[in-house]
Amino acid sequence: MSLVEDLLFCPYNRAHRIRPDAMPKHLYKCRRNHPKTRLVICPFNTIHHVSGPELNAHIAECPDRAAFELYKYCITDGSRQSHTPTAQEPELIYNNEPPRRSLTPESGFGDSEEATGRSLQDDDECWDESAVPAYNPHAYCKSANVIRKATNMKKSQKREFYQAERERLNGWRSGSTSSESDDGCQKATTLAGADEWWDDEVAPAKDNRATVEKKQDMDAMISLIPIQA
């Protein structure tokens, strides 16, 4: 078969002969160039553009309808026979098995599935709504051996904050069971990190008062670290 025989005629202009793979793009442009030509699109193939009165006849004889009919009538439950005397609408297969029971102490771990009479279509489970709460960094820092920095506070509020932090860290370390060597390493690491933070964060400031206040805040944070004898 030659290349010319494989070309398709454009429904808007018979002088246009287009390859089948390029026909959708051509129809999009050619339809805009012929706004007065009223053609409708076949539901089985988008490159089939026919006039409105001929649509029903085209649908009955469309060669691409076979693929749709094959898909439609193959979705059955398997109980129907192909030699039934009367044509009936096929039935779609739905998964009507009951949903699995949630593994909770109330329902019992490892229990078998029970017939609840509900279809999976009625299952309201949503994986986007997790039962596990989101991570809260503020709540974690309040209960961990970390030094918090007072931000967006007045001078009196910072003083109260660091005083409360000193009491919190002292109480946290009093209940710790780590050895002296571990505490010494942790203290050295914390002091090194504090010095590094001070070198990185504190830049030459134009306002001497702001620099002094930041230095005081850093001294208060360093004072929270216990000094071993």
Q: Is 107 helix (H, G, I), strand (E, B) or coil?
A: coil
Give the predicted TM-score (pTM) of the model.
Answer: 0.31
CA dist., res. 112 & res. 102, Å (int): 11
**Of the ranges 71-85, 97-111, 147-161, which is most confident?**
147-161
Q: What is the mean pLDDT of the chain?
A: 70
> For the chain, what percent of residues have pLDDT higher than 70?
52
CA dist., res. 199 & res. 223, Å (int): 17
Q: Do 217 and 152 touch, CB atoms closer than 8 A?
A: no
Structural domain contains residue 160: yes
β-strand partners of 9: 17
Task: For residue 183, give both structure tokens.
Answer: 């505490």
Instruction: Render 209-225 in DSSP notation, one character per residue.
Output: HHHHHHHHHHHHHHHTS
Neighbour tally for 129: CB within 10 Å: 7
Domain boundary among 22, 38, 68: 68
Structural domain contains residue 205: yes
Structural domain contains residue 26: yes
- Model confidence pLDDT, tens digit, residues 82-117: 445 555 555 555 555 555 554 455 554 444 444 444
Contacts of 8 (CB under 8 A, 6+ apart): 17, 18, 19, 20, 23, 47
Weakest mean pLDDT among 111-125, 134-148, 158-172, 202-216: 111-125
Structural domain contains residue 194: yes
Q: Which residues of 56-92 are buried (b: 16+ CB within 10 A; e: fewer)?
A: eebeeebeebeeeeeeeeeeeeeeeeeeeeeeeeeee
Q: How many domains does the chain have?
A: 2
Long-range pairs for 130-135: beta carbons < 8 A, 24 or more residues apart = none
CA dist., res. 156 & res. 144, Å (int): 24
pLDDT of amino acid 38: 87
Range of the domain at 42: 8-68
Structural domain contains residue 85: no
pLDDT of amino acid 160: 92
Structural domain contains residue 109: no
Structural domain contains residue 97: no
Binned at pLDDT 50, 70 and 90, residue 157 comes out as very high
